[in-house]
């Protein structure tokens, strides 16, 4: 175990209150809404609470624990963003470098102006897309599932499906993206998108390694994240959870990935920097603790504390929030009182977040309802793992925040 366990009262938590976390979420299991869930709350470098409820599958499966393997989807984004910032610290790129410096096909991007996905007009961008635009989701790129613009439909028509673009590699994905108009000129707005997949390709170009090789060599091996990867070998399949999706129209929940038939098998070509990783609570806790500790863990330093501090700042212009800046309706966090840094959201006004929160909390989640947040003020890290898509199906994230902070007595 990465962190030692401590009695919750010694870490400032009411033991009776924090013990109710699994009881509350058990109702999701009993009603068949979630297959299972894992929760870890740490403070002052020690675990105040951990619980695992339900199982790895709606029907059968195995008992969850610290080593159960989950699809973390967009919780891949903070890892990929940190990977690029490691290259930044070596002087190999600048945040305001044009993306075309590393991906030449991005030199002459255009913006959608009017029309439909099949018959449309475009205009020139006001300026080139930069690495900073990618890290802050102000690139003008989008996702195929947004259903908000004809550009989203163009993504679907060309099978540019974010983390599900299994027929492509990162280079091919970027080539296709260069053929599709942007939703807006870079820097104009915030829109959740495939930006971090493009970041993954830049990492490959700069480092000369494939994204999985770079992450293994530079992050996972040094941090001893032994079960975090883009694919899963046969000997670990017994620890892979099942994944489910709930249809918003029919209300029916169906299995979409399982150990018996998974897209994460060895040989997978698409290494999605925006959503392709598998991980465990044990591994992801090591990553979040590295962030929480200023870029160092167990004597291994991957980032300067000053670089990490910059990543945790709100990088939206004029300190705007996502509520003011976002052009789409989908994100992995609520928009109120929340800005965006380099790879994750950051709370700028706790009074507007509609749940108990603190200035500077930074977080992100994944499509299958996984989530983490770090609270620098109260020295808290929380991780929640389950497997149900889409992530907004149930309000498990704000509910978890409510319960954790209701347990904190100092």
Measured distance CA(371)–CA(387) in Å, rounded = 11
Strand order in the sheet with 338-340: 46-54, 36-43, 380-385, 371-375, 362-365, 345-347, 338-340
What confidence score (pLDDT) does residue 1 get?
60
What confidence score (pLDDT) does residue 269 get?
87
**Please, which residues bridge with residue 112 across strands?**
122
Domains and CATH numbers, the chain: 8-84+226-407 (3.40.710.10), 94-207 (1.20.58)
| Mean of the per-residue pLDDT values of the chain | 95
What confidence score (pLDDT) does residue 331 get?
66
3-state class of 17 per DSSP? helix
Task: Spell out the residues 6+ positions from residue 249 whose beta carbon is closer than 8 angstroms to its own.
Answer: none
Q: Crossing angle for the helix pair 21-30 and 396-407, nearest 10 degrees?
A: 160
Pick from 55-64, 219-228, 320-329: least confident: 320-329
Q: C-alpha distances in angstroms, 12 versus 3, 7, 248, 291, 401?
A: 17, 9, 40, 22, 16
CA 247 to chain centre: 22
pLDDT digits (tens, 9 = 90+) for 125-178: 999 999 999 999 999 999 998 888 999 999 999 988 877 878 899 999 999 999
Residue 109 banded pLDDT, cuts 50, 70, 90: very high
Task: Spell out the residues 6+ positions from residue 60 whose beta carbon is closer than 8 angstroms to its own.
Answer: none
pLDDT digits (tens, 9 = 90+) for 291-348: 999 999 999 999 999 999 999 999 999 999 999 999 765 667 777 899 999 999 999 9
pLDDT digits (tens, 9 = 90+) for 365-399: 999 999 999 999 999 999 999 999 999 899 999 99
Measured distance CA(302)–CA(308) in Å, rounded = 10
In this structure, the chain runs to a length of 410
Q: Dihedrals φ, ψ of 132, to 5°?
A: -60, -40
Question: Does residue 249 register a pLDDT over 90?
Answer: no
Task: Write b or e for each residue in 147-161: b if 16 or more Cβ atoms lie within 10 A of its Cβ, otherwise e.
Answer: eebbbbebbeebebb
What confidence score (pLDDT) does residue 67 get?
97
**Please, which residues bridge with residue 312 across strands?**
none
């Amino acid at each position: 175990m990465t962190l030692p366990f401590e009695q919750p009262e010694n870490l400032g938590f009411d033991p009776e209150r924090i013990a109710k976390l699994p009881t509350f979420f058990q109702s999701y299991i009993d009603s068949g809404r979630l297959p299972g869930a894992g929760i870890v709350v740490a403070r002052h470098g020690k675990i105040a609470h951990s619980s695992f409820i339900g199982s790895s599958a709606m029907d059968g499966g195995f008992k969850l624990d610290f080593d159960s393997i989950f699809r973390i989807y967009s919780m891949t984004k903070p890892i990929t963003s940190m990977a690029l910032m490691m290259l930044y610290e070596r002087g190999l790129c600048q945040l305001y470098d044009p993306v075309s410096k590393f991906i030449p096909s991005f030199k002459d991007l255009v913006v959608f102006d009017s029309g439909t996905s099949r018959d449309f007009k475009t205009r020139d961008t006001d300026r080139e897309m930069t690495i900073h635009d990618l890290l802050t989701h102000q690139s003008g790129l989008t996702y195929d599932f947004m259903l908000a613009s004809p550009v989203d439909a163009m993504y679907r028509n060309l099978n540019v499906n974010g983390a599900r673009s299994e027929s492509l590699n990162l280079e091919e994905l970027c080539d296709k993206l260069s053929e599709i108009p942007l939703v807006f000129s870079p820097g104009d707005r915030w829109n959740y998108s495939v930006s971090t997949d493009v970041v993954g390709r830049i990492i490959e170009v700069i480092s000369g390694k494939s994204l999985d090789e770079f992450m293994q060599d530079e992050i996972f091996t040094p941090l001893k994240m032994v079960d975090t990867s883009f694919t899963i070998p046969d000997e670990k399949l017994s620890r892979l959870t099942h994944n489910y999706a709930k249809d918003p129209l029919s209300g029916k929940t169906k299995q979409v990935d399982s150990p018996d038939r998974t897209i994460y098998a060895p040989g997978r070509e698409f290494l999605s920097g925006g959503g392709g990783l598998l991980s465990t609570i044990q591994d992801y806790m090591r990553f979040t603790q590295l962030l929480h500790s200023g870029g160092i863990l167990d004597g291994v330093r991957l980032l300067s504390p000053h670089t990490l501090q910059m990543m945790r700042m709100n990088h939206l212009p004029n300190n705007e929030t996502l509520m003011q800046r976002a052009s789409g309706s989908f994100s992995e966090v609520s928009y109120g009182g929340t800005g965006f840094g380099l790879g994750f959201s950051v709370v700028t006004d706790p009074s507007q977040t509609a749940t108990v929160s603190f200035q500077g909390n930074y977080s992100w989640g994944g499509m299958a309802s996984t989530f983490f947040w770090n609270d620098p003020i109260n020295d808290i890290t929380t991780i929640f793992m389950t497997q149900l898509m889409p992530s907004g199906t149930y309000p498990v994230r704000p509910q978890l925040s409510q319960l954790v902070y209701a347990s904190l007595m100092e």
